[in-house]
Amino acid sequence: MQILLAEDDAVLSDGISRALQQRGYSVEVYDDGMSAQEAALASSYDLLILDIGLPKLDGLRVLQMVRTQNKVVPILIVTARDGLNERVHGLDLGADDYITKPFDLPELEARVRALLRRTNQSKEDELTLGQLKFDVMGRRAFVNGVPLELFAKELALLEFLMLRAGKVVSKEQLIEHMYGWDDDVTHNAIEVNIHRLRKKLEVAKVNIRTIRGLGYLLDIAE
């Protein structure tokens, strides 16, 4: 697995790269946005880790350019800015996850593993179940071509369930998949989001069935 790390703090960059290399990842390090963007567009990586406050070119501009070029690669943004709008803007531009400084390296490693796991599970550009379609790249769901309004957590849940349509998915699997979207994902939180998603999927004639003691199963409603 090859990772691009764009971070201008030399101490932090060295710590992250060493930690990831110890886990068996190959890490290429860049300390400014311009060189990071050139590398990201010229080569294929399994993951990009972008600090927002990069010199020469802002990390969000790098993110935007990568997505404009239709690069299908998971992107983790690193920010020292604690504002909600900054994080939301990054996700809207196409980031898959974010982490706020200061952070512990084990948390970063866990987010990297989660993003790589999601990517390996989904190599298709579009997932389809009956009238329901999920645009993997665009992070949008459609019913007969009409966009379905879903929150980020609901989109993450729907993608995971569609990848396993017709199979039972446990709450533990959902909690593991949702790590990174919420720092405190619980069984109750999963139940609440499943309930909301189930209601929104009624128009698609798709149902999330509760399999008592086992979990949930997504299939076409009878």
pLDDT for 82 beyond 80: no
Please say whether the beta carbons of 96 and 46 come within 8 A. Answer: no
Q: Are strands 132-135 and 140-143 parallel, antiparallel or unpaired?
A: antiparallel
Q: How far apart are CA 5 and CA 157, in angstroms?
A: 28
Q: Is the pLDDT of residue 4 over 90?
A: yes
Q: CB-hemisphere CA count at 13 Å for 5? A: 24
Three-class secondary structure of residue 6 per DSSP: strand
Burial of 9 (0-12, 13-18, 19+ CB in 10 A): middle
Domains of the chain listed by start with CATH number? 2-121 (3.40.50.2300), 126-220 (1.10.10.10)
Which tens digits make up the pLDDT trace of 11-68? Answer: 999 999 989 888 778 889 999 999 999 999 998 888 999 999 899 999 999 999 999 8
Residue 167 CB coordination number (10 Å): 12
Which among 16, 117, 21, 22 is positioned nearest to 30, based on CA atoms? 16
| Residue 83: per-residue pLDDT | 60
Per-residue confidence (pLDDT) for residue 35, from 0 to 100: 96
Given a cut of 70, is residue 183 above it in pLDDT?
A: no
More confident residue, 221 or 197: 197
The predicted model gives 135-160 an average pLDDT of 84
pTM of structure: 0.57
The pLDDT, as a whole number, for residue 180 is 43
Q: Give the gyration radius of the chain's Cα atoms.
A: 18
| pLDDT in the model for residue 124 | 60
Given pLDDT bands bounded at 50, 70 and 90, which one contains residue 174?
A: confident
Q: What confidence tier does 77 reach under pLDDT thresholds 50, 70, 90?
A: very high
Asked if the model's pLDDT at residue 182 lies above 50, the reply is no
pLDDT digits (tens, 9 = 90+) for 121-135: 555 668 899 999 998
